[in-house]
Chain A
């Protein structure tokens, strides 16, 4: 191991970490998809068993295998997080382009960012989920509408810098339209930042999804999302069935951690100057 570490430079190490993280996440997704619903069947004769070799995560009060439920839950959470992060990034891109239009628009977008950041995030999520009427739709809309401010702020700063660059000024002098400049200069430069920002939004989105589902606003109880699994396990805690909460939560932690590693390494690769600092 040490020999490999010595031979690989930072760039190779970063790429290796990215590949490993992606492989691990793919493993979760594929296993989540491959497991049919029949594996979630109820076996009352095997209920409440502690972790063993046959059931590494134990079984719940209906005899369902917790490993299967956890993997299914992770896949659902991943899907929701992915969708929300993509939508949020698109909103962020649109807003930062609008902010580039003129001073007034810029002030408006800044004000909007401040407005969204001034209400506690979880309270805003509850409010939006209430407005949409809960369920899958409520979670996705809520997460997408609340995760854009920090990324927009970042993109806006970047955009302001590019806008004052000489080549943008030359394009303007040559009579290119604003839309042309936005497409060829701004978006082209913002894309890497946007992509990395999106990956780094995942952990937040997934954690908030789990939290809001745990509170009872999110996905319905038929969908075995991680938040649902954990909130159900809460009722059985006092009976000493620790595995119901321990393993699903730990799996969620690991998945979120991997996304974080993935995002940070990608930033190191794409934006070495800022990436090295953190």
Chain B
């Protein structure tokens, strides 16, 4: 009975993922085919004058641009099903390779920021919630609300100005030092280049977790069982450890998993400010340079990434919280 439920749950989620991917492919392909940007022109780029009309016609023919939009979509879709995402126009190599390579760089950035902002946000939120209404709560709340209206890229610019230009502690940009082969870069150098983008992304992501945790903790502290614990003489950290943490940890973790989309949005901006060679920078270049295969590939890839985050959040609730598990799996 139990295994059946689990199997059903997995099947349901897989079905959802498939419909999602199909819908996102259709949506993004439709959007791109609406674009007035001519793919042949963006492919040729600066060599425009040296390419005659016949050659352009040949390129269009070779790419199948003369076929109907539906046929083009079906061509792309059938290649996609075989795992072929096409070739990037900007980088002149398979899209799948570029995404894999770039995603690793982005993953280091996002992972670091994700873990740090989660821990720090939870800590801040817990302190604010326990001390609700005091000056420390006000400071934390004010800090979070200010962060929520701070443009992420501006924060990045500020950090560059302070730490790179004025103090000179960290490099201005790029993932590795210029003029050094990628294989020769030491781990220390990599971390040094990673630090500022990761810090930017962490600072921006803290607000959400902290405010949510604070809200949940206040709710918990108003409950009857906390009142009873108070009556028994529990207070301060002991009370928090026994009754607070368990009740607020799960929502916070789930929320944090469900925020992969925003995390990537922040990463796009941070990577742009620091010229960090990640997936965010690639999607911007693909969009500006008219690199359709790469753009479509990244959209699909990020959709799956966000879906995984939501899936983990959803599953965590079911696995850990027995109240939710009991109802329907």
What does the 1/0 interface line of B91-110 toward A look like (CB < 8 Å)?
A: 00000000000000000000
Question: Which residues 111-130 in A have Cβ within 8 Å of B in the complex?
Answer: 114-115, 117-123, 126-130
CA distance A214 to B284 in the complex (A): 11
- Asked whether any CB of chain B lies closer than 8 Å to the CB of A256, the reply is yes
- Asked whether any CB of chain A lies closer than 8 Å to the CB of B75, the reply is no
B149 touches A256 (CB 8 A): yes
Contact A249/B158 with A119-B299, A123-B264, A214-B269 known, Cβ cut-off 8 Å: yes
Total contacting residues, chain A, CB less than 8 A: 42
- Asked whether any CB of chain A lies closer than 8 Å to the CB of B324, the reply is no
List, in ascending order, chain B residues with CB within 8 A of A230's CB: 151, 153-154, 157
CA distance A238 to B170 in the complex (A): 12
A123 touches B157 (CB 8 A): no
- Asked whether any CB of chain A lies closer than 8 Å to the CB of B262, the reply is yes
CA distance A127 to B296 in the complex (A): 9
- Asked whether any CB of chain B lies closer than 8 Å to the CB of A246, the reply is yes
- Asked whether any CB of chain B lies closer than 8 Å to the CB of A23, the reply is no
Question: Which residues 247-294 in B have Cβ within 8 Å of A in the complex?
Answer: 260-262, 264-265, 268-269, 272-273, 283-284, 287-288, 290
A252 touches B165 (CB 8 A): no
Q: How far is the CB of A276 from chain B (nearest CB, A)?
A: 12
Looking at the complex, which one of A120, A207, A260 makes contact with B261 (CB distance below 8 Å)?
Answer: A120
What does the 1/0 interface line of B155-199 toward A look like (CB < 8 Å)?
A: 001101100111000001000000000000000000000000000
B303 touches A119 (CB 8 A): yes
List, in ascending order, chain B residues with CB within 8 A of A129's CB: 287
- Asked whether any CB of chain A lies closer than 8 Å to the CB of B1, the reply is no
List, in ascending order, chain A residues with CB within 8 A of B34's CB: 131-132
Chain B, residue nearest A208 (CB): B265
Looking at the complex, which one of A214, A238, A246 makes contact with B158 (CB distance below 8 Å)?
Answer: A246
What does the 1/0 interface line of B107-151 toward A look like (CB < 8 Å)?
A: 000000000000000000000000000000000000001101111
List, in ascending order, chain A residues with CB within 8 A of B283's CB: 123, 126
Looking at the complex, which one of A130, A207, A234, A259 makes contact with B151 (CB distance below 8 Å)?
Answer: A207
Looking at the complex, which one of A119, A123, A131, A238 makes contact with B165 (CB distance below 8 Å)?
Answer: A238
A252 touches B265 (CB 8 A): no
CA distance A233 to B153 in the complex (A): 12
- Asked whether any CB of chain A lies closer than 8 Å to the CB of B307, the reply is yes
Contact A211/B261 with A120-B306, A127-B32, A217-B288 known, Cβ cut-off 8 Å: no
A240 touches B165 (CB 8 A): yes
CA distance A117 to B149 in the complex (A): 21
- Asked whether any CB of chain B lies closer than 8 Å to the CB of A32, the reply is no
- Asked whether any CB of chain B lies closer than 8 Å to the CB of A242, the reply is yes
What does the 1/0 interface line of A237-250 toward B look like (CB < 8 Å)?
A: 11010100110010
A133 touches B37 (CB 8 A): yes
A positions within 8 Å CB-CB of B: 114-115, 117-123, 126-133, 203, 207, 210-211, 214-217, 230, 233-234, 237-238, 240, 242, 245-246, 249, 252-253, 256-257, 259-260, 278
